[in-house]
């Protein structure tokens, strides 16, 4: 085993420039959600060039590369779509340039999270070169639409592609720490109806804005008393949108809704979160609903799911986490930090919905995700490519 890890490390170093260049090529292709076609063709090309046994693009547009044909299934996931550039004034370099300079690859998506993808392509190349012979199938997944609806791509992979791995590594940025969970989330709409009348005589009507406003102040208080988990932190709720309508600016409002961004900690579920809000708004005749996401993928397929993204965590002593710790020690001769993400990932369906043991390990610092001047250290890419290959040997 010692020799294997030594070889993995040598090859990851040998392919340092290869990995950085592959990432640069991905970054140069703008890849917003539902517009990933061109970047996916490039990723497919890279996997084929690396010698993967098979590379397919599924109905939703996910690129799935395979190495091996064994009975155990490991999947390594990275979403290929990125958020937009934002205000160009805030960037000190070209966000779509993919420039490799001073030990970094620069640009939108280097951290969140095409860096993880470039690293796992190299891991696949390493496994092929070492004639990987474990009784295992490894899937390398470049997934779509994550920035728009985290987890949707994996709902498709499990339910339509019928791939259900035994273990998954998410390659979202972790700063090369090992992550084992994050809070869940959901999007809730609370709607209030009123009765309009002439604004000169408001006593004849029933103002929807007043009801929604009373509810809004109750939701502010609700945020203070939500559950706390020592590992994942506190559940939270905030109002992200307040909209109202009325027949005229000289009329009592007859419609209002609140949009709630609810973050769920351990033990909080869709049912519990909906019930809490219902209890606050029933007297105000508010209607509570969990919103539904539906969009057309770049392949033309319309697909969706409820906007409930379950909380997930797995115990530190779980074999999936322990294997990660061991692989890290074997490669880098030190103990990794085991922690959690602040943001949400495809883990919401992979583990939260389907219960598949999942860990996170990825290059780059998550504070640069969705931020200007996003860049990833090439040394992180090298270490991540070694980690993914090493993990496949150990699990």
For residue 146, give both structure tokens.
Answer: 């994550």
Is residue 113 a contact residue for Zn ion (CB under 5 A)?
A: yes
The answer to the question of residue 42 lying near Zn ion (CB under 5 A) is no
In the complex with Zn ion, which residue's Cβ is closer, 172 or 206? 172
Angle between helices 115-129 and 2-14 (to 10 degrees): 120
Closer Cβ to Zn ion, 132 or 388, answer by number: 388
**CB-nearer residue toward Zn ion: 112 or 229:** 112
Q: In the structure encoding, which two tokens stand for residue 15, read together?
A: 């392919």
C-alpha 10: how far from its chain's center? Answer: 30
- In this chain, which stretch among 10-18, 65-73, 110-118, 269-277 interacts with Zn ion, using CB under 5 A? 110-118
Give phi and psi for 204, each to the nearest 5.
-80, -20
- Tell me if 207 contacts Zn ion by CB under 5 A: no
Q: Is 81 a catalytic residue?
A: yes
Q: At what angle do helices 115-129 and 16-27 cross, to 10 degrees?
A: 140
Rounded CA gap, 311 and 76, in Å? 20
Tokens of 346: 């495809």
- In contact, 63 and 141? CB cutoff 8 Å: yes
Residue 50: cis peptide before it, omega within 30 degrees of 0: no
CB of 380 to Zn ion, least distance (A): 15
The residue (of 113 and 358) whose beta carbon lies closer to Zn ion is 113
Site string for Zn ion, 241-280 (x = CB under 5 A): ----------------------------------------
Q: Give the distance from CA 26 to its chain's centroid.
A: 18
Q: Which of 188, 194, 229 is nearest to 210 (CA)?
A: 194
Convert residues 61-100 into a mask of x (bound to Zn ion by CB under 5 A) and - (unbound).
----------------------------------------
Nearer to Zn ion, 113 or 174 (CB): 113
Q: Which positions from 351 through 390 interact with Zn ion, judged by CB under 5 A?
A: none
- Catalytic hit among 81, 112, 172, 254: 81
Structure tokens at 2: 């010692």
Least distance CB 4 / Zn ion (angstroms)? 31
Q: Where are the alpha helices (DSSP H) in the chain?
A: 2-14, 16-27, 37-49, 115-129, 152-159, 208-224, 270-281, 319-332, 347-350, 378-394
> Do residues 1 and 393 touch, judged by C-beta distance below 8 A?
yes
Question: Minimum Å distance from CB 23 to Zn ion?
Answer: 15
Residue 77 beta carbon to Zn ion: minimum distance, rounded to whole angstroms: 11
- In this structure, the dihedral spanned by the alpha carbons of residues 323, 324, 328 and 329, taken in order and rounded to 10 degrees, is -40
Q: Which residue is nearest to Zn ion (CB)?
A: 112
d(CA 242, CA 341): 29
Q: Which stretch binds Zn ion (CB under 5 A): 93-101, 109-117, 227-235, 357-365?
A: 109-117
Q: Which of residues 156-175 bind Zn ion (CB under 5 A)?
A: 172
CB atoms within 10 A of CB 132: 18
- Which stretch in 105-113, 120-128, 250-258, 302-310 sits in contact with Zn ion by CB under 5 A? 105-113
Cα torsion through 367, 373, 378, 382, rounded to 10: 40
The nearer residue to Zn ion, 9 or 113, going by C-beta atoms, is 113
| Least distance to Zn ion, CB of residue 108, Å | 12
**Choice from 112, 206, 276, 374 touching Zn ion (CB under 5 A):** 112
User: Among the options 146, 206, 366, 380, which is catalytic?
Assistant: 146
Residue placing its CB nearer to Zn ion in the complex, 171 or 253: 171
How many residues of this chain bind Zn ion (CB under 5 A)? Answer: 3
* C-beta closer to Zn ion: residue 132 or 361: 361
> What is the rounded CA–CA span in Å between residue 26 and residue 171?
16
Binders of Zn ion in range 307-346 (CB under 5 A): none
Backbone angles phi, psi at 6, to 5 degrees: -65, -45
Determine the interface stretch with Zn ion among 34-42, 63-71, 108-116, 230-238 (rule: CB under 5 A): 108-116
- Bridge partner residues of 35 (DSSP): none
Footprint of Zn ion on this chain (CB under 5 A)? Answer: 112-113, 172
Active site residues: 81, 146
């Amino acid at each position: 085993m010692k020799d294997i890890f030594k070889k993995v490390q040598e090859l990851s170093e040998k392919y340092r420039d290869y990995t950085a260049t592959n990432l640069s090529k991905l970054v140069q292709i703008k890849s917003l959600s539902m517009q990933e076609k061109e970047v996916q063709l490039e990723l497919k090309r890279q996997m084929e060039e690396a010698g993967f046994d098979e590379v397919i693009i599924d109905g939703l547009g996910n690129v799935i590369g395979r190495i091996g044909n064994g009975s155990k299934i490991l999947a390594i996931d990275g979403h290929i779509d990125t958020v937009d550039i934002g205000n160009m004034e805030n960037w000190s370099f070209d966000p779509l340039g993919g420039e490799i300079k001073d030990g970094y690859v620069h640009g939108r998506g280097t951290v969140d999270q095409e860096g993880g993808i470039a690293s796992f392509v190299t891991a696949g190349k390493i496994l092929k070169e070492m004639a990987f012979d474990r009784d295992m199938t490894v899937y390398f997944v470049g997934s779509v639409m994550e920035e728009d609806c985290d987890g949707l791509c994996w709902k498709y992979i499990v339910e339509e592609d019928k791939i259900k791995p035994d273990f998954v590594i998410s390659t979202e940025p972790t700063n090369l720490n090992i992550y084992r969970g994050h809070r869940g989330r959901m999007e809730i709409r609370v709607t209030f109806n009123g009765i309009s009348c002439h604004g000169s005589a408001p006593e004849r009507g029933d103002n929807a804005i007043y009801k929604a406003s009373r509810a809004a102040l109750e939701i502010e208080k609700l945020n203070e008393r939500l559950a706390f988990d020592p590992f994942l932190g506190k559940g939270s709720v905030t109002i992200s949108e307040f909209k109202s309508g009325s027949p005229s600016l000289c009329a009592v409002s007859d419609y209002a809704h609140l949009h709630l961004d609810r973050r769920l900690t351990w033990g909080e579920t869709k049912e519990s979160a909906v019930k809490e809000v219902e209890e606050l708004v029933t007297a105000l005749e508010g209607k509570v609903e969990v919103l539904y996401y539906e969009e057309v993928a770049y392949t033309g397929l319309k697909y969706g799911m409820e906007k409930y993204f379950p909380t997930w965590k797995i115990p530190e002593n779980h074999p999936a986490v322990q294997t990660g710790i061991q692989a890290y020690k074997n490669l880098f001769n030190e103990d990794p930090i085991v922690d959690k993400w602040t943001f949400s990932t495809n883990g919401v369906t992979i583990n939260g919905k389907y219960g598949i043991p999942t860990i996170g390990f990825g290059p780059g610092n998550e504070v640069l995700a969705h931020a200007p001047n996003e860049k990833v250290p090439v040394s992180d890419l090298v270490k991540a490519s070694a980690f993914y290959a090493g993990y496949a040997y150990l699990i």
